[in-house]
Structure 1
Amino acid sequence: MRFLAIVAASLLAHAAGAQNAATLYDQAQRLEHGEGVVRDLDQAAALYCRAARLGAPDAQYALGWMYANGRGVGHDDGVAWRLFGLAAEQGNAAGLRMQALLPAAPGAALPACMAPDPALELDLALPLPDYSAATPRLRALVDKLAPEYQIEPALALAVIAVESGFRHTAVSPKDARGLMQLIPATAARFCVLDAFNPEQNLRGGLAYLRWLLARYSGDVTLATAAYNAGEQAVDQYRGVPPYDETRAYVRRIGKLYGKTLHPIAAAVPQRCVRQMAIRSRR
């Protein structure tokens, strides 16, 4: 029993930092059924709820079952009906069957743990940013290229300022490179052959930023959050991910750019169709 308790403690410590719905769901199942750990219905419900908040239909169903049976949580058929419905909307057949067995309760509140994070508050009443680190040549290049990608130069400059501080040789611990800090996968996606070449890097970063703005309907907060953390993270959390780095990043760009919406292009490619033939000038 002591060994199982130690395993359970380790499992919960790992779960505390987990951001993946599948991982949370797997850990919740083990705690609910006592699979290799001490059974803990309260903690199982808490982990199911975190996974359900991320949109996992199996977790929504499992949490609904717990509410329907009062296991680890107080019995509440209304909450169960809502949770089974969320699972059913994503094709979970068991959720559809279980919801049909309960009285309809569209007004029931979901568990508090499924509430979205509060919206970021951006202080837009700020003086003009100081971009003195940007050389006149770089400013001219941004002013020239940004409109080609339907990006306002002010937003491009804000992203560059936060990403690299206008240093075209910048390299991050995650191997993001150049002015707009392109990781190798993103550079390849937008056909950037030399991420340290200012023009190539700007074209790749602007193409990616344009695509993100189109994906999120011009929402600068979501687009820049995706630029930092990846669109998968934004989609998974249905908003700005709860990462300290990403939330600080979004706030900084919001202060520099001063707008929450950006015009979007009608048709935007997800990746480039030909490689850039730009001579390296390093």
Structure 2
Amino acid sequence: MLRLALTACLLLTALQPAAARADVFGFVDEKGVRNYTDVPTDRRARLLWRDVNGPKAIFLPSGGGFLYKFPPALLADVETAARTHSLDPLLLKALVSVESRANPKARSPKGAMGLTQLMPGTAKRYGVSNAYDPRQNLNGGARYLRDLLTLFREDVHLALAAFNAGENAVIRNGNRIPPYAETQRYVPAVLEQMAIFRRQTAPNS
């Protein structure tokens, strides 16, 4: 139910003008109708989502994917989180590789944390109390990615762009990858890393 409400709320923000505030508020009125707005004029309105301004300032490869061996100890947890939230395990594995180089203690200059580099607000939103705990972080990151794929109709490029820069950044740019240098490098980096992992797992590779 929470995921459906969140998705509905974010879809409504897509209808707002480009200059609108990124904060989204919601309340249930006396008729039981859910209301969403970027201007909380009703005293019942509560903040549901606050946009993160721009990319997370993570380290990205200068060219191509990371050619390294993914930590075997993390593989089972990545696959469990991915399958629990209906994701391709290789996509989540690639995202973790690019976000943090599979370092559970990674932290970006903007405060993104752990394996999937969750921002504090995103971690709280998905019930991640310790973003440096690998299983909590993977589960929160996988849930977030699944919600983004649902929001952007299974468009992996847009979902990844939103994972890096925030979904409202994608929406404000007309459902296109935002013009941030980091985000425009991030999306192909994750997809290339995913392709590398796929080749490594292919028969006779």
TM-score normalised according to structure 2 size: 0.62
Distance change in 2, residues 1:146/1:237 (3 Å): same
Are residue 224 (structure 1) and residue 189 (structure 2) matched? Answer: no
Q: Give secondary structure in 2 for the equivalent of 1:218.
A: coil
Contact residue 131 and residue 161 of structure 1 kept, 8 A: no
Residue 251 (structure 1) aligns with: 188
C-alpha separation in 2, matches of 1:202 and 1:154: 13
Deviation at 1:234, TM superposition (A): 0.2
Q: Separation in 2 of the partners of 1:131 and 1:209?
A: 24
1:207 Cα offset (Å): 0.3
Residue number among 178, 193, 198 corresponding to 1:241 in the alignment: 178
**Structure 2 CA distance, aligned partners of 1:230 and 1:55?**
15
Q: How much has 1:257 moved relative to structure 2?
A: 2.4
Q: Tell me, what secondary structure is at the counterpart of 1:188?
A: helix
Deviation for aligned residue 1:130: 4.0
Q: Give the structure with the higher percent strand.
A: 2
Residues 26-175 of structure 1 aligned to structure 2 (within 5 Å):
55=18, 130-132=67-69, 134-175=70-111
Quick one: structure 1 residues 140 and 131, their matched pair in 2 at CA, closer, same or farther if it must change by over 3 Å?
farther
For normalisation by structure 1, the TM-score amounts to 0.45
Residue number in structure 2 paired with 1:191: 127
Look up the match of 2:136. 200
- What's the CA shift string for 1:195-245, capped at 9, x where partnerless? 000000000000000000000111110000000000000000010001101
> Identity of aligned pairs, percent?
43
Q: Is the 8 A contact 2:66 2:98 kept in 1?
A: no
1:58-112 CA distance string (max 9 Å, x none) = xxxxxxxxxxxxxxxxxxxxxxxxxxxxxxxxxxxxxxxxxxxxxxxxxxxxxxx
Alpha-carbon shift at residue 131 of structure 1 (Å): 4.6
* Partners of 2:99 and 2:116 within 8 A in 1: yes
Is 1:215 the counterpart of 2:151? The answer is: yes
User: What is the rounded CA distance, in whole Å, between the counterparts of 2:165 and 2:104 in structure 1?
Assistant: 21
- Give the Cα–Cα distance (whole angstroms) in 2 for the partners of residues 130 and 140 of structure 1: 20
* Structure 1 vs Structure 2 CA RMSD: 2.0
Relative to structure 1, is the Cα distance of residues 234 and 131 closer, same or farther in structure 2, using a 3 angstrom cutoff?
A: same
Unaligned runs of 5+ in 1: 1-53, 58-125, 259-282
Q: Give distance in 2, aligned partners of 1:183 and 1:146.
A: 20
> 2:104 and 2:87 mapped to 1: Cα distance?
20
Partner of 2:112: 176
Offset at 1:129? 6.8
SS in 2 for 1:240: coil
Could you tell me how far 1:141 is from its partner in structure 2?
1.2
Letter in 1 for 2:164: N
Give the aligned residue type for 1:219.
D
Q: For 1:129 and 1:147, how far apart are their aligned partners in 2? A: 23
- Larger relative contact order (CA 8 Å, sep ≥ 6): 2
Amino acid in structure 2 at the alignment position of 1:230: G
